[in-house]
Structure 1
Amino acid sequence: MANNIANKSSNISKVQGEEGTSLWKIGAKRLIKNKLAVFGIVVLSILIILSVLAPVITPYDRDETNLTNTYQKPSKEHWLGTDELGRDVFTRLIYGGRVSLSVGLVSTSISVIIGVLLGAIGGYYGKVVDNIIMRIVDIFMCFPFFIMAITIAAILGPSIWNVMIISGILSWPSIARIVRAEVMTVKEREFVEASKALGLTPIEIIFRHILPNVLAVVIVYTTLGIASGILSEAGLSFLGLGVKQPQPSWGNMLSAAQNLRSLRLHWWLWVPPGLLVFITILSINFLGDGLRDALDPKLKH
């Protein structure tokens, strides 16, 4: 009995400690306590630092070839060996991180901008406007992502910018549906009715009062969307429709090592980029799950 009373008192004190604190501060505290989310933050931070400081970290040029030094195993001179042209694999790996991470960020930004705007407009106005936007969403979601991406990439040609645009344009329907549902809930609250009574325009109400209240959901989706963007780039580059050589990305590094000889004898050509794709996606998912739990208002008490 005494233990139950003590536990209830502890819970009450925790709730009182969170009262008066903003959702973001509460979320930050919860995120720090989530070990998997912290692991994801640390791994992603290391990858970003390596990518940004690539010219400082490695003594080799990104495209420096040496035909007398091809297919060298990992050594002190070449930490991850060399490829079929004698290029340093570690150098190309960290430069490739720039491409893969930037594709994930830019493509997700494109999809979030389109999805949030259309979802907010449809959710707020409803009726005809909402029906038109949702039918467009249904059309986009009828087609498998990779089939559409491969078709468009084959027409436009392989390019890092084309990969960003394709991934961004094809990914916005999901966030649009999520934002629409949240906006339809938020617009029924008292503060929105008060804003209308004060004479604010619909655009002002959407951007000043409604979108800030759905920002937590958007942040979580953005985090997980970056993982999808990286996977899209890796898949398209693996098929030869993404980033063009000699510019490295984790996807085209895997594509270059897909022959049987490399798979059997030259593991350092495909294991490191494959492992980095796996670790990056896993870390982003850990961070996204941590953000979702930390920013969920239902867990406040």
Structure 2
Amino acid sequence: MNSISGRGRVAGLPAWDRCAVMGVVNVTPDSFSDGGRWFDTTVAVKHGLDLVAEGADLVDVGGESTRPGATRVDEAEELRRVVPVVRGLASEGVVVSVDTMRASVAEQSLAAGAALVNDVSGGLADPAMIPVVAAAGAPFVVMHWRGFLQGGNVKGVYTDVVAEVVRELHARVEAVLAGGVAPDRVVVDPGLGFSKEAEHDLALLAHLDRLRALGHPLLVAASRKRFLGRVLAGPEGAPPPARVRDAATAAVSALAAHAGAWAVRVHEVRATADAVRVARAVEEARDTERAPGADGGHGPEGAR
């Protein structure tokens, strides 16, 4: 399988020859795993550059926590947090994604040099978002979303989570396309952890092929999320803290890359950058083995 054609190409962004790595810069005091660590603009820009040095292909900048129970930051504060960081990273040649549900933040971030809009609501939180993205011709991440998470998990009830997420994402993508966003600039995201329990997240990861069948590049954002804590804890144990879930995140990244994801979104880049490169090397070895005339033997005696 050709890596680029198999994963999908996003117009307006570089064409990576493997699953891309999106590093996270949360310019917030209250994000679930690293709130407050990168709240200062200068520190946030430095962190983004460090993520690129560790192997990130693009950097996702957000100024509003979307953890369950978080209260929304006001528009002026989100703009104050996000736009200078976007501008600082873009001026250094970084491919920047802006993580926002507000059209005004997306618009000003795109003007400051952002290349991609990552809206966890898929345009549902702000009716002006789709027109802004369409007018700018920007790539747009459409995530599966059932509402704000104030007060806990919202509408996290499913009969068949994979079928329902695929159906709801398809409907949302159709609305985004009808709003003028070009088909080759749409990315889909299953929304792991958003209105979902651990068993839902795991089922979606087990069926990424069903999500890829929507016909758009796929972003998988599993980094440090609750379902990984549940897996690591086992049936009786307490989930480890978010920042102790990076090895598990890298494992999911390798699985997602193997399943054809366009990109993975992670807080700790180095391990995932290694994981997706190993996944690509295995993919290349498989492609070579399948090529016409390839040696189907086992190689030198004892090599097995």
Note whether the superposition's TM-score is higher than 0.5: no
**TM bin (shorter chain):** under 0.3
Higher strand share: 2
State the structure with more CA Rg. 1
Q: Which has the higher contact order (CA 8 A, sep 6+)?
A: 1
Higher helix share: 1
* TM-score between both structures, scaled by the size of structure 2: 0.21
* TM-score between both structures, scaled by the size of structure 1: 0.21
